[in-house]
Structure 1
């Protein structure tokens, strides 16, 4: 692990290419999993200790360059290796093989209360944490009032932090981290602990960092947060990076993985069941979505084939529209419309028209489900279809607006 303006990293001499602040080269990380769960078992199997240990590779041959001024999101399923990669970048753990080169001052929020001593007061922990992050005492004196004000826990700054709530921990830790003037900020999901006003304050601070050209590496399970903040997304799976690039594509790959895991889990449950899986009364077949532009408006038409295997009264259809980053924009169902759907067995085609949808240009996803008025879901297809909205000549964003301008003098 190197933490210096190393010649191994590109210099700023080439103005056309942003210099790298972090270079990860062929990094792998192995952990040892002990099968014996007690001291007695360890003594009993002492002669065969190696047989009681398994290798677990949290990372395998990961390579990436993080350029100065970028905001990178690390996403993936639980156990995919994203937090391990962040800790390797931060120097918290050392890789089993490979190298990490990093330069500039770094601040990291990797664990709740990391760097805090529970028996020290908040005031004392500010100085301790700031020292760990590289600030001198005089520098901490200079920023202390700003740190406390940003955290919003002035009344408890002289209380031992072991009496703090999780939200107070995060407030103080984040406040220290963003006031040490970091070139590189590492954040691992801890922002989800704070309350909504503090999360907004954190987002504003991160936006300020982005405008100042600082580098941020963020681990988050919130696709909306990743989509809003990151210009690059790395999707981790089983210790490897399976996508590195466009955030929208990365989130799509992640969500497809979640759906594949869900289907695999259902299939496994059916395989171990003694009885053959029960054929559902209703099934979703092919789903398509398309846009129709005309008469100054854009309609979205969703068409779905529904297979009725057994006559089912009072069933309904629900449709939802999401952005590719997972933000829910609209949801409806036929129950609230008072619409009666066919009950006879056979294949039926249902077409739903959503008129005059004023969405900004881009791709949107359609999910469709079948259910009963009681709330029971019979079948569901997440991201079953997609449609593209045409370019908006008046602006950019989720909404399509035709602005008017008036000038008075």
Structure 2
């Protein structure tokens, strides 16, 4: 296997913008000339590489060449100059309803779109129920797609592409169409692909989504690469610096702010034996260790930790305000440990955050958002959702 999943060298794509068209041979003969047009370079000498397992974001204004770039990668467009090398099975979600026939039912379109993406009938049949369940269209799967809403079409298209199990997945600005639940599921699916080492290329105007998913970003402007590099740096340059104002970010979507009167030196998720980890089993015992330093004497500060989903929804949060063991004075270095006998989360990827604030909770001395990314492996394969709830079934038979 090659080192890079995608290699683009000196790629150019040209279109003709006609000011008039000779729609018939007769019109061309009467004019005595060809229709007038001008050349438009949608992509101009673009070169980049995407390593296996990397997630690349492409940003830029409308008409900058983002979608044209993805269509060249998929083979829909043939480049006029340059070369593209793809190493691995590729699936793409480029346009709303692409590959769907409006007169066919959702069920029939699963087989049609699956075939377009390279799946055999046997593969589609084996994954059919999972595709429908992920899309959440059990009630509507035998309804013609022309009666689907835009969100339903996107959900079905993403579900099919996800079940192709591609080595390379291309996504063009369609995840914003779905509802909040779909965006959560799709983000978690993309995160699952990342953990499995798949290559992902995302085109989006949602800078938050790009920041969350991608370590490297390309900024396209008028068909040329304006900047390529670290996601935070490129997005900051694209927005004129406003995106990074008053914050500190790193490669893993970390964000930090505060007055500086105290600082969180480290935040760790530990196993029950005290070993740092980023992967735990559902329902296992864990500890959260926070090492901090107060640069001035702080009266009754509040230490708060929270666990969030990738989209920012808070799953659980707690603080030293709970119970009797509050922090009365913080002066100099200190270590706080939070024992969790049973972390009741189901499988997924989550963020751990922490903050130190004043007694009112309105002024943050230091706030470390999305500081630790960790994965939970589900031990109970039959539970679904986010939380693992301890429960027991009982059955009483009634005799006639």
**1-side partners of 2:56 and 2:371: how far apart?**
23
Q: Is the 8 A contact 2:22 2:34 kept in 1?
A: no
1:168 aligns with 2:143: no
1:135 aligns with 2:119: yes
Contact kept? 2:258, 2:366, Cα under 8 Å = no
Q: Equivalent residue for 1:396?
A: 371
Contact 1:360 1:397 in 2 (8 A): no
Shift of 1:107: 0.8
Query: Are 1:35 and 2:24 matched, yes or no?
Result: no
- Structure 1 residues without counterparts, runs of 5 or longer: 1-10, 13-18, 260-288, 298-326, 328-353, 362-394, 399-409
> Which shifted more, 30-39 or 183-192?
30-39
What is the RMSD of the two structures over their aligned residues, measured on CA atoms? 2.8
Q: 1:101 aligns with which of 56, 75, 85?
A: 85
TM-score by length of 2: 0.61
> Could you tell me how far apart the structure 1 residues matched to 2:201 and 2:10 are?
19
Superposed counterparts of 1:167-186, under 5 Å: 167-186=151-170
Q: Structure 2 regions of 5+ residues with no counterpart?
A: 244-256, 262-294, 299-311, 313-361, 374-400
- The 8 Å contact of residues 10 and 47 in structure 2, kept in 1 or not, is answered as yes
Match of 1:237 among 197, 221, 224: 221
Question: 2:367 maps to which residue?
Answer: 359
Q: Deviations over 1:115-158 (max 9, x none)?
A: 01111111111001111111110011110010000011111111
2:59 touches 2:66 (CA, 8 Å); kept in 1? Answer: yes
Aligned with 1:396: secondary structure? strand
Contact 2:259 2:365 in 1 (8 A): no
**Aligned-partner SS, 2:46:** strand
The alignment status of 1:155 with 2:139, answered yes or no, reads: yes
Distance in 1 between residues matched to 2:163 and 2:31, nearest whole Å: 50
Match of 2:380 in 1: none
CA displacement, residues 219-251 of structure 1 (integer Å, 9 cap, x when unaligned): 011111001100110110110112111000110
Question: In the aligned structure 2, how far is the partner of 1:231 from the partner of 1:48?
Answer: 52
**Residues of 1 paired with 2:20 and 2:241: CA distance?**
33
Match of 1:49 in 2: 34
Q: State whether structure 2 residue 99 is matched by structure 1 residue 91.
A: no
**Structure 1 residues 355, 65: closer, same or farther in 2, change over 3 A?**
same
- Tell me: CA distance 1:355–1:176, structure 2 relative to 1, closer, same or farther (3 Å): closer
Q: Where do residues 169-318 of structure 1 align in structure 2 (5 Å cutoff)?
A: 169-256=153-240, 293=261, 294-295=295-296
Cα 1:253–1:126 shift into 2, 3 Å: same
Partner of 2:236: helix, strand, or coil? helix
**C-alpha distance in 2 between matches for 1:181 and 1:61:** 31
Task: Write the distance in 2 (CA, Å) between the matches of 1:102 and 1:158.
Answer: 36
Secondary structure of the 1:135 match is: coil
Distance 2:242 2:46 in 1: 22
